[in-house]
């Protein structure tokens, strides 16, 4: 998964929901955003892919990334 490489984390850290993890996982949220924006995946499919209990969890993460993009928190890096 390309998002894992960009964030320098394992794919498992993004895809699998870790029960003990209570801190934010920006790589996971960004991957959900990419799935919806560029993969045209529904919230239901994203929920299943990421092992979420509710579509609202995916929606929250995606909207958080959208909000941060709008505020300029995420910078696009150009690679030659």
Distance CA 31, CA 34 (A): 5
Does 80 score more than 60 pLDDT? no
- Per residue in 19-73, pLDDT tens? 665 667 888 999 999 999 999 999 999 999 998 889 999 999 999 999 999 888 8
Q: How far apart are CA 29 and CA 51, in angstroms?
A: 13
Here the tokens at position 49 are 């892919």
In the chain, where the domains are located: 2-70
- Looking at the domain covering 2-70, what would its CATH class be? mainly alpha
Question: Whose CA is closest to 1, among 27, 23, 25, 40?
Answer: 27
Q: What pTM, to 2 d.p., does this model score? A: 0.79
Q: Where are the beta strands (DSSP E) in 1-80?
A: none
Identify which of 14, 61, 15 has the alpha carbon closest to the alpha carbon of residue 36: 61
């Amino acid at each position: 998964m390309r998002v894992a490489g960009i964030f320098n984390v394992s794919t498992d850290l993004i895809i699998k929901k870790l029960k003990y993890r209570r801190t934010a996982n920006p790589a996971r949220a960004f991957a959900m955003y990419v799935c919806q924006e560029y993969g045209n995946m529904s919230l239901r499919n994203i929920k299943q892919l990421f092992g979420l209990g509710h579509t609202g969890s995916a929606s929250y993460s995606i909207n958080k990334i959208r909000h941060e993009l709008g505020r300029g928190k995420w910078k696009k890096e150009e690679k030659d």
